[in-house]
Structure 1
Amino acid sequence: SAGLIMSEGCAVSELGYGWRGAPALYTDEQQVGWKKVVDAVHAEGGKMFVQLWHMGRQSHPSFHPSNEVASCSSSCYDTGRTHDADGNATGFPTTREMTLEEIKQVVEDHRKCAERAKAAGFDGVEFHGAGGYLIDEFLQTSTNKRTDQYGGSVENRFRLLRELIEAVTTVYPAERIAVRLSPNGVYGGMGSEDNYETFTYVIKELSKLGLCYLATHDGFGFGRYDKCRVFTVFELKTLFKGRVMATCSYTRDQAEGVLHAGVADLVGFGRPFLVNPDLPARFRNNWPLAEPLAYEFFWNATKGLEGYHFPAYDPKKAETDKAKKADPVNP
């Protein structure tokens, strides 16, 4: 029932992986599994993009044969918590800086993942450039301490994202490629004093590439930092000459507000859709929403299918249940 379905972030390579139970798309087996999902979506007339994801410094060394994590620069998300490959709660490691050869491989890994996505039938791809993951780390000065062509100036910090998009346009046309950013987000230990200037440049450059859309995490659902001026959806829309998707903890009324104001062209819903598979119908008919899913279901792989099976709203059953509550003696 969604206009466009976006997968959860999918690791593009073994080195880009690092969360227990997270999906990926870099092996034949994974490709076959995703094709079943995409075929089911297409059978119902839907469209689906895959989100290309490299976890950067939010990976854990226990997932890698080298027992180390390489990211933009040597750094540590020291206030964050994660789980190792055995499911044990732990902190994040101090990473080492990627070599130029490894960056080249990251670009190639994204291209190969896009090829697998196309073979699996995905209608397009979205780069996960938000949340303090690898792309975000390269963009922001708080995490990018490089002194080569990928660090320093905003042009250099944007270089990786530009190269990733250029590589994937050899697989999908630009109008089937999207980017997600979080200019205001604190998730992943992010936030830089010059973010307003950084993302102004980044958005203007992305505007030249003919992308399908640009998505933004407003930052208010997961919190925002106070190091610089807030980057609003309105400002993003004035800079990006294409479709803008607003995301992160929107209610129906908030979504309708930004759409009617022309501030955004689309609004993305994630967590509400998991427990309300008929979310558009519930919005349209003023039906009640199901109780939100506990946060644990989003990271705990042992929960399995328990967190993904929720019924559509049945108005007749709701009326019957209401009548039973009103007259429990004579239902």
Structure 2
Amino acid sequence: MRFVSDHRRDPGRRGDVPPVRHSAKRVGFDGVKVHGANGYLMDLSLQPVPNHCAEKYGGSFESRFRFLHEIVKAGVTGRSHICHLTVSSVAWQQGQRRKFMHAFERQSQNRLGYLAMLDEFGFVFSTESRTLIVFDANKAFKGNVIVNNSYTCDTDKGVVRSGAVDFVGFDRLFMSNTALAEHFQND
């Protein structure tokens, strides 16, 4: 799949972010979540293989990062608005580790509520240590880092105790077992 953007449409799409943010606040949410993983638009814009844009959102990593940065900045204005960002660890396996570290450092300035890392362990082959990947993200991002995917009660405790992340999420596991917290406590 190739992501080819027409930059003339981008300003209008970014213009949708503040109304979405205000609608979320109006119905009781604390803010918005920018999903930059799993092949969604933000993810495609960051990746060098599918992003063949020839204008300001393609080419160098800095240009590819610009789209995500502008969306996040639009989602975070004022102290009462919180924006969360989700990214995938798959990008780290594509030789972009230092680039993403720089991107996370820059996102720290945006007062994000948290950075969520989808640890793709079990979905893709990697020679990288899964703890090292999220530890690097936690070191670069000055805020809370949550990791999610394929964690158990034991691996959850280990990754938190190691200092690699602040929290572990159990979305899929919890959806299929709403008594998960009790199971973990009694384990």
Q: Residue in 2 aligned with 1:166? A: 73
Alignment CA distance shift 1:157-1:269 (3 Å): same
Cα drift, residue 179 of structure 1: 0.6
Find the counterpart in structure 2 of residue 254 from structure 1. 155
Paired-residue identity, %: 34
Q: CA–CA distance in 2 between the matches of 1:233 and 1:162?
A: 20
Determine which of 5, 17, 25 is the counterpart of 1:118: 25
1:23 corresponding residue in structure 2: none
1:111–1:225 distance in 2 versus 1, CA, 3 Å: farther
Residue of structure 2 equivalent to 1:314 = none
Question: Normalising by the residue count of structure 2, what TM-score does the alignment of the two structures yield?
Answer: 0.87
In 2, Cα distance between the equivalents of 1:224 and 1:199? 19
* Cα offset, 1:161, TM superposition: 1.1
d(CA) in 1 for partners of 2:125, 2:98 = 17
Q: For residue 276 of structure 1, what is the amino acid of its counterpart?
A: N
Residue 102, structure 1, aligned to residue 9, structure 2: yes
Partner of 2:178 in structure 1?
277
Of the three residues 103, 114, 121, the one matched with 1:213 is 114
Q: Deviations over 1:106-164 (max 9, x none)?
A: 21223322222112211232210011110011111111111211111222111111111
Rg comparison, structure with higher value:
1
Match for residue 167 of structure 2 among 252, 266, 270: 266
The answer to whether the 8 A contact 2:33-2:84 is kept is: yes
Cα-to-partner distance string for 1:222-263 (whole Å, 9 max, x where unaligned): 32467x897611111121111110111110111111111111
Higher relative CO (Cα under 8 Å, sequence separation at least 6) belongs to: 2
Q: Report if aligned partners of 1:217, 1:248 keep a CA contact under 8 Å in 2.
A: yes
Deviation per CA, 1:185-235: give whole Å up to 9, x if none. 6xxxxx874322331221121122221111101111332467x89761111
Specify whether residues 208 and 170 from structure 1 end up closer, same or farther in structure 2 by C-alpha distance, changes over 3 A only. closer
Structure 1 gaps, min length 5:
1-56, 58-74, 76-94, 186-190, 287-331
> Which stretch has the larger CA shift, 235-244 or 250-259?
235-244
Which residue in the other structure is 2:88 paired with?
A: 182
Residues 183 and 196, structure 1, Cα contact 8 Å, conserved in 2 = no
- Distance, in Å, in 1 between the alignment partners of 2:129 and 2:105 is 18
Q: Please state if 1:198 is matched with 2:99.
A: yes
TM-score (norm: length of structure 1):
0.51
Q: Return 5+ residue gaps in structure 2 as ranges.
A: none
Query: In the comparison of the two structures, how many residue pairs are matched?
Result: 186
Q: Residues 158 and 173 of structure 1: is their aligned pair in 2 closer, same or farther, counting only changes over 3 Å?
A: farther
Match of 1:130 in 2: 37
Matching residue's letter, 1:202:
A
AA partner of residue 177 (structure 1): C
